[in-house]
């Protein structure tokens, strides 16, 4: 028996730590162990067992004890995480700990599986209220007890001994049900609408696929992509297989969960940021045991073990929130593909606005495209209309034609959505007399004015200060907000439409997930109203009464320097536009711009996202940009510019591969944030393998350099943001 455990610890060192198995001799790879680390006892994950250690047996410490009887991270997940750690150049120990829910990173016992509640159903309530019901039985006592308040199953025996038989009776009569954490489990699924031909074809292709098979489900908003997923998941359920569904945080609403639960008729394990640590761990463990047949989660749900996997779904696959922006900088969509490959199951990436990466994979034949070209049911596609702002008398950014269109929508008793991707009142506060403007002292960026709280805030570092009464530079009283954020748009609309309910949705009005869900919950209701918000409004609840969408900040997207800006603008416009006219009523989308003849806008108007993405892909090919080239970004930050320069000079000097093109060292697009200087080197290769080979050689020695230990630096493989 091998006696050395090679353990991944949650430390930023790219190596494993060897321990003598000691009392943890039963620990297999994938099991957690408690081990001494310096003066502390820490949780680690066994990656390998070995006969010998380079350190020599005698110099090793004993592992303290094993925490799992069977591997918590199964063989497939362990091997995929090892590949991911290599691909993203991130220490394996940290990768393993990122994959585990927080509650499982501690040595405490695993949270009890499915601590479900017993709750009275509507029928149970009727039985309880029936004046003729029998009393004095266990069943009657049980109804009385559960009728007062739902009871955790684990507490039943203590509260009412010998009631298990009565419980079985009550459940079989439909009086009492077991309830999950979020909603009652419906045993009978709600019937699906009959799929149309395009949906049928797509669902059949997914159901028929065997082994690893990547699909792109390219379907306009409202075309019924979710129905296709549901049909494929139902087929998995019938085979006893698990499905994993990834959604962006903002799309994983209670409404979405309910739809999956009701339709599939099984409990759906949810994993999102609104859950407590214990609940997350429970959902994770339910997936690991194979009990949870359907797992619906956000980015980090890509790490759940799936011992009986049948299908992986990534909805809104273009969404930038799938990329983790700190620590282990993985892309959940790309990892999902890697996992589906390792699990040997089909994966479907769905979007109304597919990423250029996925479209390129279709073009090269790696992914198979499934198309849903039309909206399901009666819904009409919205009409796109440009409102030319040039020379118009604007009311805080809104053109007269826009305001007229909103008025007409309201008069019809319908809803309008005004979209602006900037929260706060105004992005700039400026002095009319001397030109001074409020800047963040730590970032050199403009401070955003928040009128309701009378604060100037930095959206990059959190710095905040009061609003000065007079110009700090010339003491003039003529300081004015310039430009508009959602708060100001709301004010303008309130003044113009005083009778109409207005709801603003942005990070300021939805500080907690609960507040957000409550706010989003009230949006769909009937009656004239105006919704104002940031991209938080671009997805989420169905809004059946919404017939007008106004995009206020088109020009910012048209004139950005970020190479992904045009792709993002196109996606955003098409996504918000997709919210209009989902029911029988046709919708209109207004794009306000000073540049109505901009070529990208014309392509989008005439050919939609399809034409835009084709053109952008051509441009990227010509310019050797991703997905036709592969990027990695070395970022460094320090208070001291000499340290920054020293480290990046060493990093640049050790680039010795002619297949790698290096840009920099150069200041980051945001050269100072929160008082820290930032600089970077952007690496480019035309082949992914060349980049991988080079990084594997380049990064490790850099980690050893004292110049690198004197500051913070990181490597971002396939960066989404060049910031
Ligand atoms: P997507 O995910 O592509 O945005 P959904 O699956 O949410 O689209 O469907 C949009 C709307 O159309 C939903 O209200 C859904 O119930 C309805 N729908 C989808 N497929 C059908 C169908 N085959 N027949 C009738 N209604 C459908
Ligand atoms: Zn001034
Ligand atoms: Zn700042």
Confidence at residue 515, expressed as pLDDT on a 0 to 100 scale: 78
Which neighbouring-strand residues pair with 448?
457
Secondary structure element (H or E) that encloses residue 536, with its range: none
226 lines ligand 1 (CB under 6 A): yes
Mutate to test the pocket of ligand 1, among 227, 350, 575 (most ligand atoms within 8 A of CB): 227
In DSSP notation, 414-481 reads: -EEEEE-S--SSBSEEEETTT--B-B-TTT-SBPEEETTTTEEE-TTT--EEEPPSS-TTT--S-EEE
Closest CA to 302 of 240, 229, 245, 237: 245
E strand map for 190-328: 213-219, 242-246, 268-271, 294-297, 309-315
Q: Considering only CA atoms, which residue is closest to atom 9 of ligand 1? A: 224
Confidence at residue 540, expressed as pLDDT on a 0 to 100 scale: 67
Please, is 392 exposed, middle or buried when counting C-beta atoms within 10 Å of its C-beta (0-12, 13-18, 19+)? middle
Distance 451 CA to ligand 2 centre (A): 20
Mutate to test the pocket of ligand 1, among 200, 218, 222 (most ligand atoms within 8 A of CB): 222
CA distance 284 to 263: 22
3-state SS assignment for residue 228: helix
- 230 CA: nearest ligand 1 atom: 6
Distance 436 CA to ligand 2 centre (A): 5
CA distance 232 to 208: 9
Distance 434 CA to ligand 2 centre (A): 4
In DSSP notation, 606-629 reads: HHHHHHHHHHHHHHHHHHT-TTSS
Mean pLDDT in consecutive groups of 10 residues from the start of the chain, 723 residues: 88 92 89 95 96 84 92 96 97 96 87 69 85 84 84 73 84 82 51 92 97 96 94 96 94 84 88 85 91 94 97 96 95 98 98 97 97 82 90 92 96 94 94 96 93 94 94 95 94 96 90 78 80 84 87 85 87 88 80 94 92 95 94 97 96 96 94 95 96 96 93 96 80
Torsion sign across C-alpha atoms 71, 77, 79, 83: negative
Secondary structure element (H or E) that encloses residue 532, with its range: strand 529-533
Classify residue 213 by its DSSP letter: E
- 199 CA: nearest ligand 1 atom: 23
196 lines ligand 1 (CB under 6 A): yes
399 lines ligand 1 (CB under 6 A): no
16 with 93: CB under 8 angstroms? yes
227 lines ligand 1 (CB under 6 A): yes
The radius of gyration computed from the CA coordinates of the chain, to the nearest angstrom, equals 28
Using alpha carbons, list the distances in angstroms from residue 453 to 245, 256, 463, 466, 477: 39, 34, 14, 9, 20
Distance 439 CA to ligand 2 centre (A): 13
Closest CA to 548 of 497, 594, 603: 497
CA distance 609 to 223: 15
0.75 exceeded by pTM: yes
Residues, CB-to-ion distance under 5 Å, ligand 2: 431, 433-434, 436, 471, 473-474, 476
* Percentages (nearest 5) of helix, strand, coil residues in the chain: 35, 25, 40
Q: b/e for 449-465, b at 16 or more Cβ within 10 A?
A: bbbeeebbbbbbbebee
In the block, tokens 């069943």 appear at: 139
Confidence at residue 115, expressed as pLDDT on a 0 to 100 scale: 52
Please, is 658 exposed, middle or buried when counting C-beta atoms within 10 Å of its C-beta (0-12, 13-18, 19+)? exposed
- 219 CA: nearest ligand 1 atom: 3
In DSSP notation, 25-89 reads: TT--TT-EEEEEETTEEEEEEEEEEES--TT-GGGPPBP-EES-SS-SS-HHHHHHHHHHHHHTT
CA distance 302 to 312: 9
3-state SS assignment for residue 187: coil
Q: Which residues contact 490 (CB under 8 A, 6 or more apart)?
A: 502, 504, 532
Confidence at residue 178, expressed as pLDDT on a 0 to 100 scale: 79
In the block, tokens 């979710």 appear at: 226
Distance 228 CA to ligand 1 centre (A): 9
Please, is 554 exposed, middle or buried when counting C-beta atoms within 10 Å of its C-beta (0-12, 13-18, 19+)? buried
CA distance 438 to 453: 16
User: Can you read off the two tokens belonging to residue 480?
Assistant: 């004015």
């Amino acid at each position: 028996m091998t006696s050395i455990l090679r353990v991944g610890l949650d430390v930023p060192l790219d190596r494993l730590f060897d321990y003598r198995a000691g009392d943890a001799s039963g620990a297999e790879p994938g099991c957690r162990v408690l081990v001494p680390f310096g003066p502390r006892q820490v949780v680690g994950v066994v990656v390998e067992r070995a006969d010998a250690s380079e350190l020599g047996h005698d110099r090793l410490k004993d592992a303290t004890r094993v925490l799992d009887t069977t591997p918590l991270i199964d063989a497939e997940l362990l091997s995929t995480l090892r590949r991911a750690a290599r691909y993203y150049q991130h220490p394996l120990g940290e990768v393993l700990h990122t994959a585990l829910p927080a509650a499982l990173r501690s040595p405490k016992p695993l949270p009890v599986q499915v601590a479900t509640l017993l709750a009275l159903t509507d029928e149970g309530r009727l039985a309880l209220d029936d004046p003729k019901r029998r009393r004095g039985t266990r069943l009657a006592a049980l109804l009385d007890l559960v009728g007062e308040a739902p009871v955790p199953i684990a507490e039943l025996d203590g509260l009412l001994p010998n009631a298990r038989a009565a419980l079985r009776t009550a459940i079989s009569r439909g009086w009492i049900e077991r309830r999950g954490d979020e909603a009652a489990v419906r045993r009978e699924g709600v019937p699906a609408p009959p799929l149309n031909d395009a949906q049928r074809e797509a669902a059949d292709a997914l159901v028929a696929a065997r082994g690893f098979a990547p699909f792109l489900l390219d379907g306009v908003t409202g075309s019924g992509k979710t129905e296709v997923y549901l049909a494929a998941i139902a087929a998995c359920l019938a085979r006893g297989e698990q499905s994993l569904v990834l959604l962006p945080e903002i799309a994983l609403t209670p409404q979405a969960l309910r739809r999956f639960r009701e339709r599939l008729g099984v409990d759906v394990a949810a994993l999102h940021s609104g859950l407590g640590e214990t609940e997350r761990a429970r959902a994770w463990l339910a997936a690991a045991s194979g009990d949870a047949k359907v797992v619906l989660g956000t980015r980090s749900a890509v790490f759940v073990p799936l011992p009986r996997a049948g299908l992986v779904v990534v909805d809104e696959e273009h969404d930038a929130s799938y990329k983790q922006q700190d620590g282990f900088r993985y892309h959940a969509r790309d990892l999902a593909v890697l996992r589906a490959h390792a699990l040997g199951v089909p994966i479907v990436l769905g979007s109304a606005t597919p990423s250029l990466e996925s479209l390129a994979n279709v073009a090269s034949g790696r992914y198979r495209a499934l198309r849903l070209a039309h909206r399901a049911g009666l819904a009409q596609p919205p009409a796109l209309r440009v409102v030319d702002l040039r020379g118009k008398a604007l009311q805080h950014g809104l053109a007269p034609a826009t305001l007229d269109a909103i008025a007409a929508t309201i008069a019809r008793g319908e809803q309008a959505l005004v979209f602006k991707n900037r929260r706060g009142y105004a992005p700039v506060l400026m002095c009319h007399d001397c030109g001074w403007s409020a800047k963040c002292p730590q970032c050199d960026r403009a401070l955003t004015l928040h009128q309701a709280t009378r604060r100037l805030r930095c959206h990059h570092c959190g710095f905040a200060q009061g609003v000065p009464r007079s110009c700090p530079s010339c003491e003039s009283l003529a300081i004015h907000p310039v430009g508009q954020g959602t708060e100001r748009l709301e004010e303008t609309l309130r003044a113009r439409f005083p009778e109409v309910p207005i709801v603003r949705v942005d990070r300021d009005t939805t500080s907690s997930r609960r507040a957000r869900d409550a706010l989003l919950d009230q949006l769909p209701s009937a009656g004239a109203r105006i919704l104002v918000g940031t991209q938080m409004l671009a997805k989420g609840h169905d809004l059946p009464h919404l017939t007008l969408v106004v995009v206020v900040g088109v020009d910012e997207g048209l004139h950005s320097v970020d190479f992904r800006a045009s792709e993002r603008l196109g996606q955003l416009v098409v996504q918000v536009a997709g919210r209009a006219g989902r029911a029988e009523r046709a919708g209109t989308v207004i794009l306000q711009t000073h540049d109505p003849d901009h070529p990208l806008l014309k392509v989008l108007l005439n050919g939609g996202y399809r034409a835009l993405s084709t053109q952008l892909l051509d441009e990227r090919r010509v310019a050797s940009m991703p997905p036709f080239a592969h990027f990695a970004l070395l970022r460094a930050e320090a208070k001291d510019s000499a340290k920054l320069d020293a480290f990046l000079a060493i990093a640049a000097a050790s680039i010795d591969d002619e297949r790698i093109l290096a840009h920099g060292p150069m200041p980051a697009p945001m050269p100072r944030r929160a008082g820290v200087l930032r600089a970077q080197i952007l690496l480019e290769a035309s082949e992914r393998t060349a980049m991988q080979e080079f990084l594997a050689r380049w990064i490790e020695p850099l980690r050893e350099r004292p110049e690198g230990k004197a500051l913070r630096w990181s490597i971002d493989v396939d960066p989404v943001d060049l910031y």
